[in-house]
Amino acid sequence: MATGAEANRALEAIVLAAGAGSRFGGGKLTAPWGEGLLLDAALAAAFAAPVRSVTVVWGADQAVLAAASRYADRTGQSGRLHLAHNARHAEGMGASLRMGIASLPPDTTGVFVFLGDMPRIPHEVAPRLAEALAAGARAAAPVCDGRRGHPALFSAELFPALRSLAGDRGAGWLLNAMTHGLALVPTDDDGVLFDVDE
């Protein structure tokens, strides 16, 4: 079994960005946010995590593909960016998670799952989640004001369960079903709860 330090060197991140953004009126992830785009903020958090690379799962909106590539070029992260097209994005978040997990290198020991429409994730949260996984947790997630937030971090032990998700059943369903091994990491930053649809 990998030690904590070895495990952290094999962490990856997935950014789910395949939806149509219909509640937003379309084009959600490429809408302006701060000094860039909504997707830029989510990508900044993912690249700031202790991961080898970031995989953006895109689908409904080809503009997301271009936006992710531009962000990586602009920030010097092109070598760490991977793009995975989910042709079955209409099936829901489960299909995107399956695609993302399938795209990971075989030696991956854990994966962060970020949502493309959550632009205020505090960058200091991901390293704390990684510490929880290295300490033996099967999964870790931040909690703020009694509510579990994002991103979530899953050990490789849970990849088969993530690959079995269907429809719009996301990773939150798996966390809800866990009876042991879930580390909840407290934070005062409600960015772990904020998404643009709320």
Residue 147 belongs to a domain: yes
Q: Which residues, including other chains, have CB under 8 Å from residue 70's CB and lie 6 or more apart?
A: none
| CATH number of the domain enclosing 141 | 3.90.550.10
DSSP tag of 28: -
- Could you tell me where the DSSP H helices lie in the chain? 4-8, 38-48, 62-75, 93-102, 125-134, 159-163, 171-177
Do residues 115 and 191 lie in contact, with contact meaning Cβ atoms separated by under 8 Å?
A: no
Residue 94 belongs to a domain: yes
Residue 46 belongs to a domain: yes
* Residue ranges making up the domain that contains 55: 4-192
Query: In tens digits, what is the pLDDT along the chain, a chain of 198 residues?
Result: 444 454 557 999 999 999 755 454 468 899 999 889 999 999 999 999 999 999 999 997 899 999 999 999 999 999 999 999 999 888 888 899 999 999 999 999 999 999 999 999 999 999 999 999 999 999 999 999 999 999 999 999 999 999 998 777 788 889 999 989 999 999 999 999 998 764
The structural domain count of the chain equals 1
Residue 197 belongs to a domain: no
- What distance in Å separates the CA atoms of residue 35 and residue 20, rounded to the nearest whole number? 23
